[in-house]
Amino acid sequence: MAKSLANYPESYYTASTILPPPCPALQGSATTDICVVGGGYSGLSAALALAERGYRVTVLEAQRVAWGPSGRNGGQALVGVACGQQKLERLLGAAGARAVWEISVAGLKLLRERIARYQIDCHWADGTLAVAEKPRQVVELAQMQEELQALGYPPTQLMSREELATVLATTRYLAGLYDAHGGHLHPLRYALGLAAAAAQAGVVIHENTCALDYRLTNEGVCVRTDADGVAGELKCRHLLLAGNLRLGKLAPALSRKIMPVGSFIIATEPLGEARARELIANNAAVFDQNWIIDYYRRSADHRLLFGGRVSYSGLEQFEAVPVTRARMLRVFPQLAGTRIDYHWGGTIDITMNRAPHLGRLHPNVWFLQGYSGHGLALSGIAGSIMAEAIAGVSERFDLMARIPHHDFPGGAWLRRPVLVLAMLWFRLRDLL
């Protein structure tokens, strides 16, 4: 049964956003061309792209729009996919990997275009900065820059330790790679802007409406829903599953392909413009090269937002705030006396190979999931690709659907312990 939720989970993002009133739940029977399950970046992006093509689109969201990771993430917009180009080449060959790279570049472009076209007030700021803590990571950054150049990406800046010291008020790093074409934003404001644009284009959004199951019919698909105990039914020609981790029993075959990973972020008290600028002079979104990464950026009201704690165990991390704060102080010890005003967490979905997972379960039942931490830019372009495919233009969809994906090992009970053991190796590698 769906559960009413009048408010979003507490976070800096919700505290700094004027939240819209809830969209009405679906009650009774309705029809549409396309039913999209999931009101996050993927579902809203696909719904908007489909509506712009003239389809009648209905979005079903079990909670509120962007209630999940789309409203709680680190806000960093990165080029590429999480698994990297070398793995993509092993999976798809050189030509296929290059084509996926171009899709990721198009995703960054589309993100910027939508912010401008729909005048989404989401505090966009240019620039990302990858930083190295260890000598081998310095080499990796140089190799990354060479790879970007070979792919035809616009020039990036490789920064020495001395150059980096003029940008970041820390001595922790040995080098950095600055990309002026990535950036960062307020994720909840961006998602709500997408929802407003979709609604303006004619998309019907039903919040607090849980999609329980679906059945194939001669006319298409029939989705059975629940809204606080009130049954509903939505008949559609095509069904697009964009709920990622929250699809649950709606699509168990998909849930075996992804794993939830807990992520935690803290926000300091306002530091004042001058002090915030001292920490990150160029206002880039910063992330290190460890497997268990630290990532941080300035907010529009001059706080430091810092994420640096993840959980693969699925257990509640009661120590997440002090541990994340301690990680922040390793980078910026000068913040030792600074108050933490907000802290929050959530889950992201990862695939076994860290590549996005697009495909279909039936000829008219489609899905997209598994961005593995790169969803801010990739989800938008993935939504457009799904709209293309539903409209009959499937070249980019066929490419993405070729990426092989496997179930996490261990079955329902053992797959998480197996993942935790695997992560221990990567944690040890970070220390070397």
- Give the start-to-end residue ranges of the domains of the chain: 1-124+185-257+352-401, 125-180+258-351+410-432
Which is the CATH superfamily of the domain at 125-180+258-351+410-432?
D-Amino Acid Oxidase, subunit A, domain 2 (3.30.9.10)
* pLDDT at residue 365, as a whole number: 98
Other beta carbons within 10 angstroms of residue 184's beta carbon come to 28
> Which whole number is the average pLDDT over 122-151?
97
Chain-wide mean pLDDT for the chain?
91
pTM over 0.85: yes
For the chain, what's the residue count? Answer: 432
Q: Residue 32 CB: number of other CB atoms within 10 A?
A: 20
Picking from 42, 39, 126, 28, the residue whose alpha carbon sits closest to that of residue 383 is: 42
CB 282 within 8 Å of CB 178: yes
Q: How far is 327 from 332, CA to CA, in rounded Å?
A: 9
pLDDT at 361 over 90: yes
| Mean pLDDT across 130-156 | 97
Tens digits of per-residue pLDDT, 261-306?
878 999 999 999 999 999 999 999 999 998 778 999 999 999 999 9
Residue 132 in 3-state DSSP?
Answer: strand
Same CATH fold, 125-180+258-351+410-432 and 1-124+185-257+352-401? no
The confidence score (pLDDT) of residue 412 equals 53
Report which of residues 95 and 5 the model is more confident about. Answer: 95
Q: Which residues pair with 60 in a beta bridge?
A: 37, 206
Burial of 233 (0-12, 13-18, 19+ CB in 10 A): middle
SS3 of residue 115 by DSSP: helix
List, for residues 135-146, the tens digit of each pLDDT value: 999 999 999 999
DSSP letter assigned to residue 410: T
CA distance 353 to 238: 28
| Confidence bin at 258 (pLDDT 50/70/90) | confident
Mean pLDDT of 363-367: 97
Tell me what the mean pLDDT of segment 381-390 comes to.
98
Concatenating the DSSP letter of every residue in 309-338 gives: EEESS-S--TTHHHHHHHHHHHH-GGGTT-
SS3 state at 214: strand
Give the DSSP letter string of 221-267.
Answer: EEEEEEETTEEEEEEESEEEE--GGGGGGG-HHHHTTEEEEEEEEEE
For the chain, how big is the Rg over CA atoms in Å?
21
- Distance between alpha carbon 112 and the CA centroid of its chain, in Å? 16
Q: In CATH, what class is 1-124+185-257+352-401?
A: alpha beta
pLDDT at 333 over 60: yes
